[in-house]
């Protein structure tokens, strides 16, 4: 992991030239997009992590046209997982085209664009995904091989006093316990910076926790599959727990869940964990 001063070292590589060309293609095609991932993390926290790809966020309705313009430009394109992820590649370099999350909770909607933050990437004027939406989507990533809690903490550390906390709470909706758990973790990691989390936010969520503690839940439900597709699979496969990714609570089909859990793309190829 590097600091902001080191980012320029990556700006003239074949990879970043591919990224710049891709961004220019999207702009010329007038396709709305947002920058997320490592580059958004750097924009908000000053921390840079050189990764294998560039994350571009779009609305689901724009996926087909986005792939078309990249295909016409000579790039290879594929829909890796129909419920959330497509890809554009050139000469071994990769752009992830993201329109939802792996658990189908954090769909890219109009609010992402209304609250986007203006910035610059590789000399191109772009918009970055809002910090609230980045926190919302990253909060659910708790695989054995990838845990985004540190990213959440670093964004809170850098932007805590600018976060739209009401909107962030609303984004988590019925999953507010997950947000509370991240805020408690932030207070553990940064005890001297706890003031960055407004008192009313903690009071609101802790009040909900107290009120909710005696509420009986009917039926066996494991929300763990929203956090890890691998580590809680046995709970729904063998232990009789309902999977919240499926209706009526979730929006994924059984086939989408199966492909995502097995790490297979829509064309049947095995995919690495993102």
The three-class DSSP label of residue 39 is helix
CB 140 within 8 A of CB 103: yes
Longest dimension (CA), the chain: 58
Angle between helices 131-138 and 149-159 (to 10 degrees): 160
CA distance 52 to 16: 11
Could you tell me the domains of the chain? 1-129 (3.30.460.40), 131-215 (no CATH), 223-262 (no CATH)
What six digits make up the tokens of 58?
Answer: 């779009």
Mean pLDDT, residues 237-262 taken together = 95
Q: How far is CA 191 from CA 185, 195, 207, 247, in A?
A: 10, 9, 22, 40
- This prediction has a pTM of 0.91
* Out of 24-28, 212-216, 260-264, least confident range: 212-216
Q: What angle do CA 188, 133, 95 make, to 5 degrees?
A: 110
Location of structure tokens 């990769």: 94
For the stretch 122-141, pLDDT in tens is 999 999 999 999 999 999 99
* Out of 94-98, 211-215, 239-243, least confident range: 211-215
Q: How far is CA 79 from CA 52, 85, 88, 254, in A?
A: 18, 6, 9, 18
pLDDT at 268 over 80: no
Mean pLDDT, residues 178-204 taken together = 98
Angle between helices 165-172 and 131-138 (to 10 degrees): 30
């Amino acid at each position: 992991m590097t600091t902001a001063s080191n980012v320029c070292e990556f700006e003239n590589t074949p990879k970043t030239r591919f990224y710049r060309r891709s961004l220019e293609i999207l702009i010329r095609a007038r396709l709305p997009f947002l920058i997320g991932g490592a580059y958004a993390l750097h924009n908000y926290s000053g921390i840079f992590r050189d990764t294998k790809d560039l994350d571009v966020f779009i609305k689901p309705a724009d996926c087909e046209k986005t792939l078309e313009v990249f295909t016409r430009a000579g790039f290879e394109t594929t829909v890796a997982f129909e419920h959330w992820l497509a890809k554009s590649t050139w000469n071994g370099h990769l752009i992830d085209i993201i329109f939802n999350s792996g658990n189908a909770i954090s769909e890219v909607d109009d609010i992402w664009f209304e609250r986007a933050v203006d910035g610059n990437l590789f000399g191109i004027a772009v918009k970055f995904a809002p910090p609230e939406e980045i926190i919302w989507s990253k909060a659910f990533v708790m695989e054995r091989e990838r845990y985004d809690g540190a990213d959440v903490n670093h964004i809170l550390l850098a932007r805590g006093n600018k976060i739209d906390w009401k909107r962030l709470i609303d984004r988590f909706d019925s999953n507010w316990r997950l947000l509370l758990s991240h805020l408690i973790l932030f207070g553990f990691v940064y005890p001297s910076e706890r003031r960055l989390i407004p008192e009313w936010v903690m009071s609101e969520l802790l009040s909900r926790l107290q009120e909710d503690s005696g509420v009986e839940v009917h039926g066996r439900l494991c929300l763990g599959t929203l956090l890890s597709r691998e580590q809680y699979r046995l709970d729904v496969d063998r232990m009789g727990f309902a999977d919240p990714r499926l209706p009526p609570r979730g929006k994924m089909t059984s086939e989408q869940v199966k492909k995502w859990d097995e790490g297979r793309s829509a064309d049947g190829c095995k995919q690495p964990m993102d």
